[in-house]
């Protein structure tokens, strides 16, 4: 053995000895395959993280390199203790708390989840010995720190939600056991400010202006907001007694309320000057059903309705299946959207079936810079197929679909797993949908708006060819195209709504706009 080799072995033995004596985790003293290490629930952490990492590896639109992904997640521990840092060398990962070495571990030779989780847990056990902040952190704080850092490096829309936030997310998507009440906290209790029609609170006799002082005999005077929310909600079919004060009677009156499934309202419909205006604020489990019910009633009650405006300004999106169903309500045929990703289940095509709830009446969709995701699917489907047209500015350009991975701790990962493509074939990500009638920067009177559109409509139609064919990874070209109709927030007071109404009520103008749309759209399967 050469002197150099002998010195290297001696140095390595000294390092191992020094690590052991100073409580530093190394490959020689890292106790793998234990359920609990120094009070840390290793098996529980491994169960949650292993499931999450396995699903991310299989389903993410951009497959992460597991080593890079885990190392990025490890850096998230600095959110718990700002003194935490790592040195990522060629074949080793060293973790520090301040200047104190806490772990010195060899990088795994492969990209398997189990191998890199061993490195993460070894690092974690090492830094727990030197950081009071990380030692006192519970499992949920560890998961949040790890996934927040790792997913932030993956893409802008993938994210982790802990148990409580995940429950709130599911309630937003699917509904919850509740009473259908909008309120504010006051010194007297909860002041009722709004009631969902036909929901339990309204059915029990509560009215706007009532004050709820007690629930099941418990005063609400000093309760925190999250406690009140928990008291109002509960299993479907469960009952509670509310003590209320109303100006018309004294003392407080008791009302029994039976909870039912409450899905947040996302749709409003008004009829103005023979035009039905349907505002969709987001897409949850009941959005399409509500649109269908409200519009069917409006068309039955108001037989003179000339057309429909779908107002999607400010709509951040929501459930893909609801976007497809809302689009299908207005389309007799044609492709609605296609989705494409790595995982076989992410590759889907959605087609409209016969039946148009609006009976062929003109349709105008309003969008702005905040219209995203599901809202963009609806807008693109209606315009690309020639069923209607879009007024507004370039939309947000989210263009990706997220799947929800539920974790063993009851948290969840919202994971980007596919891109969606408009009926004419273009990828919406970082591009958005292009309105046939662009209102960017337009604040003037309606006649000026009409004149501007008639002067620029043909130019916008010609631009659609480039919109359809620009490469998904050509960020510079996509930004250049968007600049022709810059994305803006278009408030309710803007000229957009009146412009839409004018086009609907003047057949020749609407036909001209839709004709340009149909000419510019590619007639092909997505």
Contacts of residue 249, defined as CB under 8 A and 6 or more positions apart, other chains included, come to none
Contacts of residue 112, defined as CB under 8 A and 6 or more positions apart, other chains included, come to 66
Of the spans 48-57, 155-164, 245-254, 432-441, which averages the highest pLDDT? 48-57
Contacts of residue 219, defined as CB under 8 A and 6 or more positions apart, other chains included, come to 189, 213
14 has pLDDT over 50: no
- Quick one: angle between helices 320-330 and 374-384, nearest 10? 30
247 has pLDDT over 80: no
H or E element that contains 226: helix 225-232
Q: What pLDDT digit, counting tens, does each position of 77-96 carry?
A: 999 999 999 999 889 999 99
- Quick one: angle between helices 496-505 and 507-520, nearest 10? 100
d(CA 378, CA 320): 10
Q: What is the reported pLDDT for 221?
A: 82
**In the annotation, is 524 catalytic?**
no
Of the spans 187-201, 374-388, 480-494, which averages the highest pLDDT? 374-388
Give the residue from 274, 399, 291 showing the smallest Cα distance to 340: 399
Q: What is the reported pLDDT for 13?
A: 37
- Report domain extents, the chain: 15-154, 176-262, 267-520
In 3-state terms the chain splits into helix, strand, coil percentages (rounded to 5) of 40, 25, 35
Backbone φ and ψ for 438, nearest 5 degrees, come out as -85, 130
For the domain made up of 267-520, the CATH class stated in words is: alpha beta
Cis amide leading into 15 (omega within 30): no
pLDDT (average), residues 199-226: 88
d(CA 217, CA 224): 17
Give the residue from 139, 146, 174 showing the smallest Cα distance to 160: 146
Given the residues 26, 45, 158, 373, the one annotated as active site: 373
d(CA 433, CA 448): 24
Strand partners, 178: 260
Given the residues 81, 104, 315, 384, the one annotated as active site: 384
Query: What is the torsional sign of CA 135, 137, 141, 145?
Result: negative
Q: What pLDDT digit, counting tens, does each position of 340-386 carry?
A: 999 999 999 999 999 999 999 999 999 999 999 999 999 999 999 99
Structure tokens at 40: 């840390």
Give 251's pLDDT tier (boundaries 50, 70, 90): low
Structure tokens at 326: 């809302």
Give the residue from 315, 337, 302 showing the smallest Cα distance to 424: 337
DSSP secondary structure string for all residues of 58-104 = HH-SSPPPHHHHHHHHHHGGGGT-TTEEEEE-SSEEEEEETTEEEEE
Output Rg (C-alpha) for the chain, integer angstroms.
29
d(CA 36, CA 474): 49
100 has pLDDT over 80: yes
Q: 521 and 464 in contact (C-beta within 8 Å)?
A: yes
Question: For 18-27, 253-262, 271-280, which range has the lowest pLDDT when averaged over its residues?
Answer: 18-27
d(CA 472, CA 431): 9
For domain 176-262, which CATH number applies: 3.40.50.300, 3.40.50.720, 2.30.42.10, 1.10.260.40?
2.30.42.10
**In the annotation, is 223 catalytic?**
no
255 has pLDDT over 70: yes
**In the annotation, is 373 catalytic?**
yes
Strand extents, DSSP E, 7-53: 25-26, 36-37, 40-41
d(CA 195, CA 257): 13
Residue whose structure tokens are 């406690």: 227
Given the residues 394, 398, 464, 494, the one annotated as active site: 398
H or E element that contains 176: strand 176-178
Give 250's pLDDT tier (boundaries 50, 70, 90): low
Q: How would you classify the pairing of strands 389-392 and 437-438?
A: parallel
d(CA 200, CA 238): 11
Whole-number percent of the chain with pLDDT over 70:
92
d(CA 326, CA 378): 7
Same fold, 176-262 and 267-520: no
d(CA 457, CA 461): 6
d(CA 77, CA 139): 12
313 has pLDDT over 50: yes
15 has pLDDT over 50: no
Q: Is 148 helix (H, G, I), strand (E, B) or coil?
A: helix
437 has pLDDT over 50: yes
Q: How many CB atoms lie within 10 A of CB 85?
A: 17
Q: What is the reported pLDDT for 248?
A: 64
Q: 394 and 369 in contact (C-beta within 8 Å)?
A: yes
């Amino acid at each position: 053995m050469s002197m150099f080799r002998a010195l290297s072995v001696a140095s390595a033995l000294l390092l191992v000895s020094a690590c052991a004596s100073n409580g530093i985790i190394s490959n020689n003293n890292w106790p793998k395959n234990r359920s609990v290490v120094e009070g840390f629930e290793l098996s529980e952490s491994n169960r949650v993280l292993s499931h999450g990492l396995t699903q991310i590896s299989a389903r993410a639109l951009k497959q992460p390199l597991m080593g890079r992904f885990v190392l990025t997640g490890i850096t998230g521990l600095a959110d718990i203790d700002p003194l935490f840092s790592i040195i990522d060398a060629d074949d080793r990962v060293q973790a520090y708390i301040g200047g104190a070495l806490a772990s010195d571990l060899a990088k795994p030779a492969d990209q398997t989840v189990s191998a890199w989780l061993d490195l993460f847990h070894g690092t974690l056990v090492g830094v727990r010995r030197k950081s009071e902040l990380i030692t006192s952190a519970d499992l949920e704080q560890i998961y949040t720190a790890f996934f927040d850092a790792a997913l932030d490096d993956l893409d802008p829309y993938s994210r982790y939600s802990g148990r409580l936030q995940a429950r709130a997310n599911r309630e937003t998507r699917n509904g919850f056991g509740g009473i259908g009440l909008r309120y504010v906290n006051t010194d007297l209790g909860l002041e009722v400010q709004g009631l969902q029609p036909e929901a339990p609170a309204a059915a029990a006799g509560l009215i706007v202006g009532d004050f709820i002082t007690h629930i099941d005999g418990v005063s609400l005077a000093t309760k925190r907001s999250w406690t009140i929310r928990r008291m109002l909600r509960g299993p479907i079919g469960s009952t509670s007694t509310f003590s209320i004060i109303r100006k018309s009677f004294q003392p407080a009156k008791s009302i029994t309320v039976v909870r039912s499934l409450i899905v947040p309202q996302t749709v409003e419909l008004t009829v103005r000057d023979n035009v039905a205006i349907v505002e969709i604020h987001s897409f949850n489990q009941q959005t399409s059903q509500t649109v269908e019910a409200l519009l069917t009633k409006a068309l039955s009650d108001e037989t003179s309705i000339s057309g429909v405006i779908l107002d999607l300004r400010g709509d951040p999106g929501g459930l893909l299946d609801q976007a497809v169903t809302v689009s299908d309500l207005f389309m007799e045929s044609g492709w609605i959207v296609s989705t494409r990703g790595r995982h076989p289940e992410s590759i889907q095509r959605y087609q409209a079936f016969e039946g148009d709830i609006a009976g062929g009446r003109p349709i105008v969709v309003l969008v702005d810079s905040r219209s995203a995701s599901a809202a963009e699917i609806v807008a693109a489907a209606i315009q690309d197929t020639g069923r209607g047209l879009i007024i507004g500015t370039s939309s947000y350009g989210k263009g990706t679909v997220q799947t929800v991975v539920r974790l063993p701790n009851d948290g969840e990962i919202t994971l980007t797993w596919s891109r969606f493509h408009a009926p004419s074939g273009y990828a919406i990500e970082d591009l958005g949908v292009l309105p046939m009638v662009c209102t960017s920067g337009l604040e003037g009177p309606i006649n000026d708006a009409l004149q501007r559109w008639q002067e620029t409509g043909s130019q916008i139609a010609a631009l659609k060819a480039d919109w359809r064919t620009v490469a998904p990874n050509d960020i510079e070209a996509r930004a250049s195209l968007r600049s022709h109709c810059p994305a803006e927030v278009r408030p309710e007071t803007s000229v957009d709504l009146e412009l839409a109404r004018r086009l609907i009520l003047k057949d020749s103008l609407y036909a001209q706009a839709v004709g340009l749309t149909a000419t510019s759209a590619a007639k092909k399967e997505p």
